Structure 1
Amino acid sequence: MPTNSDVLAVAEQFSAAIPSLDADAVARLYTDDVVVQSNASNETQTKDQNIAMLRVIFGIEREHGYHDIERIPTPDGFVQIHTFRPVFTDGSSGGEARVCMVAEVRDGKICRLREFLDGAQIGVFWSRVAEASKNA
């Protein structure tokens, strides 16, 4: 079982990698068999699928902001609550949503990540992501 300091270190690294728009840094924080799920799509993603999606997202963003972060260690990982404020490369806002992530950590890496948010709050963001995905 990971220690609180171990899982909080992983959470810190993840919360630094995402806003840096560095998909490779995120990939290094995932186990090879990671399962990523968001209630926005209600589908699970493999590591390769999630990293491919992040590359599309990061390609259209200037900022993938995580703000007002709160973290709670759990026996298997951590829960993180934050406000997500994406900003596109043209400077326009992608909206704002309060997000809850539940992560399981194994051997210093995230092996399961579940994200919960109200997708309607960032509808503009999802529309731009869908458009960019078609062109990828």
Structure 2
Amino acid sequence: MVENEAALEAGQRLFETVEHGDLEDLRQIFAPGALVWHNTDNAFTDVPTTIRNLDTIRTSAVEFRYEDIRRSPTPEGFVQQHTLIVAMPDGRSIRDMCCCICTVTDGRIARMDAYHDSAATGAMAHKSTKPADE
């Protein structure tokens, strides 16, 4: 069983870093060998690939933020629901209702299962599932 406070702190660090911080810091927030799974493609990505995908989205967007964040501890980590708002320079915008279920080990995220609104995320066609070193 994970300590609730440590799990919630890991979640806060993760999403604050994704929204505002240096994405390379995710290497310290995620545990070694951590994986991120997405319902929209039923695929796992490693942390370097996740960083690359997030960087592509963030640097392409004129707005990238989370709203309506609700985070609760679980016996293995935490669950978070939020709305991701992304606005692109060409006027397209994404309003992604998301639920993330995270496993936390030793204060670091070992696995994330991310359930995205597939109708909203279709606009993010540039997402890669290939490892970052390919």
Band of TM-score, shorter chain = 0.7 to 0.9
3-state secondary structure, aligned to 1:19:
helix
1:106 is matched with 105
Q: Between Structure 1 and Structure 2, which shows a larger proportion of helix residues?
A: 1
Contact 1:62 1:91 in 2 (8 A): no
Give the equivalent residue in structure 1 for 2:131.
none
> Contact (CA 8 Å) 1:21, 1:58: kept in 2 or not?
no
Moved more, 39-48 or 103-112: 39-48
Name the SS for the 1:59 alignment partner: helix
What letter is aligned with 2:46?
T
2:99 is aligned with 1:95: no
Distance apart, 1:128 and its partner CA: 5.7
Query: CA offset at residue 62 of structure 1?
Result: 3.0
Partner of 1:120: 119
Query: How many residue pairs were aligned?
Result: 128
Distance 1:93 1:14 in 2: 26
Structure 1 residues 59 and 129: alpha-carbon distance in aligned structure 2, compared to 1, 3 A threshold: farther
3-state SS, counterpart of residue 83 of structure 1: strand
State the match for 1:134 in structure 2: none
Unpaired runs of 5+ residues, structure 1, are: 131-136
Task: List alignment gaps of at least 5 residues for structure 2.
Answer: 129-134
Counterpart secondary structure, 1:56: helix
Residues 103, 112 of structure 1: 8 Å contact kept: yes
Match of 2:30 in 1: 30
TM-score (structure 2 length as normaliser) = 0.85
Question: CA offsets per residue over residues 19-47 of structure 1, 9 Å max, x none?
Answer: 11531122221112101100111110112
Provide the aligned C-alpha RMSD in A: 1.9
Cα pair distance change 1:91/1:6, threshold 3 Å: farther
Question: Which residue in the other structure is 1:82 paired with?
Answer: 82
Q: Which residue of 1 aligns with 2:53?
A: 53
